[in-house]
Structure 1
Amino acid sequence: MKKIIETSFDFAQLGPDLILDAIEAKGLLVESGLLALNSYENRVYQFLCDNNKRYVAKFYRPQRWSKQQIQEEHDFAWELQNHEIPVVAPLKLNGDTLHSHQGFYFAIFPSVGGRQFEVDNLDQLEWMGRFIGRIHQVAKGKSFKFRPTFSIQEHLFDSVETLKQTQLIPTSLHTAFFTILQQVVDLAAKRYQPASHIRLHGDCHPGNILWRDGPTFVDLDDCRAGPAIQDLWMMLSGDHQHQRLQMDTLVEAYEEFCEFDKAELALIEPLRAMRMVHYMAWLSRRWQDPAFPQAFPWFADAKYWEQQILALKEQLSALHEPSLTLF
């Protein structure tokens, strides 16, 4: 077995020649240039092959996921696809979906197009509810062995420690920021009490949905175990009454295929808080990657942290309010 060469956590060694060599080593001849797609955690490139088909090559960030964890993501995508659920799964080349080259794990996907999912379109929300219900019905059939589980330790407590170590928060804002941050973390941790966990897409927001005669789900990179509501709540938008109508539409369609525990509605605001805190910590951890200061220059500005103080105050208020209910 060929030994995998360890690479650094970033993509400093991932140059065009290495990318082309990796792709062509799998029997695909690149006929076009490499078009970098919008991805920061990994590196993703679209290209035209000599068979006149478009593909996407995804190079995983080194040392983030283990080989077993990435393979479990691929297997989950194929399991869903085999149940005729529109999920973009990696191609099987010589029987394998996960490949390695010069220390980088990578996969090749078919290039799939489509327009953006409209979160305020109730007809499209109904479609989404049915398909997420189908995903979860399949997902309940087994458990992840290697992928992590949504937890307050990772998303809240560890994230707070990361933020305490960053040099990006202006000293003048430290007291205000960390005071409200701790209040949000404490209350979210208290309210986050899921009764069960299933396999999830994990990052099922509108940006990971392509619409073409129905939804196509992409990017299972953050799939993990957690409460079912995690794959539903990011579809919500607008005021409280609008969100109530949206969730009612989603759940009614969802339950055509999978039973929904309405007690999980109480987890929406804790999960939103977890996402907010984890996102700030994620940017802090990745700041040494040259791509991040270029893509998120506002993260180092005092104005951003002032806005986060206000956002956290609003989230604290939301955590104190009664949970969303259905009609």
Structure 2
Amino acid sequence: MASLSPPFSDLNPSRIVRAIEEVGFRIGSEPFALNSYENRVYAFRDEDATPWIAKFYRPARWSDAAIGDEHRLLGQLTSAGVPVGDVWRNAQGESLFHVEDQRLALFPQLRGRAPELDNMEQLFALGQTIGRLHAASASLLLPHRPHFDAASQCRESRDTVLASGRLSGTTREDYAAVSDAIVNTISKLSLPKVASIAVHGDCHPGNILGDGEHFALVDFDDCGYAPAVQDLWMFLSEHHEQDTQAQLAELIEGYEEYRDFDRRELAWIPLLRICRLMRHSAWILNRWHDPAFPQAFPWVESSDFWRDHVRALEVQRLNLQQPQWLA
């Protein structure tokens, strides 16, 4: 059986430059690789010294139509005045370009720094930004983007981890037991029925840039449908109730300057947290044939990592079952 060819294996510097120039840009600086594992992302300057981002999409992850949904969402948000890194379009209105075997999009490079989550004024500003996003996106149709399904996500993550061969002995048994219990618990959860809207989908501090008073959103690669709280919960402290209450108050106050927030959605946070925890480890294993992943996540080969992961899942499983003060 032939080995799976690593993605981006032939994306060398000359091909990167050639692809960008074929789209219609003239390079004024050597492209610089940014930290991005799912796709390949490069910063460069054009001949006028304007900074840009070139994003090469991972093969076979999203269809062209799904990427088109991402770009339509960005266009909608930009038209509504929401601060985002909009995609560049050529004179024909095209935003996704096929260059040889690569798919490429260009974005203006936004400047700024990640928010400080212990700064209440910045959390208020974050809430405003997310509120503006959801006010503009709530009615938008993204027909080729997924809807959040916790049970399916956790089941697929469990199957990926168990099939990987990374776990053995009692660690494998413990993981199988706790992941089965999580899937079973999720299937029996009685959470408030809340609306799903078009969301950023991966809204964490690394995808927010600003100056402390105003923030912009970047990297809509995971956009899809979910409760609004999906774009808020990753700015919250997990371990300190008093801190979390204060953070929530600022986020929601800022958010509600632009859109009402259904507080019943807070009951979804433990579910969103455990899904992300399970998906992250499965995501790494799914991408292990990409040489960037063993280099970036070497601890995945450690039995200690998996024992710690099982313990973390057990803590989150208990949080699912016990009444949550957030609800």
- Work out whether the TM-score is over 0.5: yes
**1:4 match:** none
The CA distance in 1 between the partners of 2:312 and 2:190, in whole Å, is 19
**198-207 or 174-183: bigger deviation:** 174-183
CA contact (8 A) 2:129 2:216 kept: no
Cα deviation, residue 190, structure 1: 3.1
By how many angstroms is 1:166 displaced? 0.4
- Once the two structures are superposed, residues 43-82 of structure 1 have per-residue CA deviations (whole angstroms, 9 ceiling, x without a partner) of 0001121111111100000100000100110110111111
- Which of 165, 168, 171 lines up with 1:167 in the alignment? 165
Residues 260-315 of structure 1 deviation map (CA, whole Å, 9 limit, x = unaligned):
11111110001101101111111111011111001100011111001101111211
Where 1:116 maps in the other structure, the secondary structure is coil
- Is residue 2:228 matched to residue 1:231? no
Between 208-217 and 269-278, report the one with greater CA deviation. 208-217
Q: Does 253-262 or 192-201 show the bigger shift?
A: 192-201
- Measured after TM superposition, the shift of residue 192 of structure 1 is 7.0
Is the counterpart of residue 79 in structure 1 residue 79 in structure 2?
Answer: no
3-state SS of paired residue (2:23): coil
Query: Is 1:67 matched with 2:64?
Result: yes
Q: Which runs of 5+ in 1 are unaligned?
A: 1-6
CA distance in 1: counterparts of 2:264 and 2:300, whole angstroms: 36
Q: CA deviation at 1:210?
A: 0.7
Identity within the alignment, %: 38
Q: Following the alignment from structure 1 to structure 2, what is the Cα–Cα distance between the partners of residues 55 and 239? A: 39
The one-letter code matched in structure 2 to 1:204 is: C
Q: 1:8–1:63: 8 Å Cα contact kept in structure 2?
A: no
Identify which of 100, 103, 106 aligns with 2:101: 103
CA–CA separation in structure 2 for the residues paired with 1:154 and 1:91: 34
Alignment of 1:101-180 (within 5 A): 101-180=99-178
In the alignment, the residues of structure 1 paired with residue 111 and residue 138 of structure 2 have an alpha-carbon distance, to the nearest angstrom, of: 29
Residue 90 of structure 2 corresponds to 93
Distance 1:296 1:16 in 2: 24
The AA in structure 2 aligned to 1:232 is L
CA contact (8 A) 1:117 1:206 kept: yes
Separation in structure 1 between the aligned mates of residue 169 and residue 220 of structure 2, nearest angstrom:
37
Corresponding pairs, count: 320
CA-to-aligned-CA distance 1:104-156 (integer Å, 9 cap, x gap): 11101111111121111111111111221111111122221111111124421
Partner of 1:296: 297
Q: Distance in 2 between matches of 1:129 and 1:116?
A: 14
Report the residue type matching 1:198 in the other structure: I
Aligned-pair CA distance for 1:8:
6.2
Asked if structure 2 preserves the Cα contact closer than 8 Å seen for 1:9 and 1:62, the reply is: no
Using a 3 Å threshold, how does the CA distance of structure 1 residues 153 and 115 change in structure 2: closer, same or farther? same
Question: Aligned partner of 2:230: which letter?
Answer: Q
- Matching residue of 2:41: 44
Give TM-score scaled by structure 2 length. Answer: 0.93
| Counterpart residue number, 1:272 | 273
Match for residue 198 of structure 1? 197
For 1:285, the aligned partner's letter is N
User: CA separation in 2, counterparts of 1:135 and 1:150?
Assistant: 18
Unaligned stretches of 5+ residues in structure 2:
none
Q: Residue 130 of structure 1 contacts residue 250 of structure 1 at CA under 8 Å; is this kept in 2?
A: yes
The CA distance in 1 between the partners of 2:261 and 2:249, in whole Å, is 11
- Per-residue deviation, 1:186: 2.4
- What corresponds to 1:318 in structure 2? 319
The equivalent residue for 1:31 is: 28
Which position in structure 2 is the counterpart of 1:14?
11
CA distance in structure 1 between the partners assigned to 2:139 and 2:9 by the alignment: 40
The structure 1 segments of at least 4 consecutive aligned residues displaced by more than 4 Å after TM superposition are none
Shift of 1:20: 1.1
Cα distance in 2 for partners of 1:138, 1:53 equals 28
Whether the 8 Å CA contact 2:6–2:291 is kept in 1: the answer is no
State the one-letter code of the partner of 1:322. Answer: P
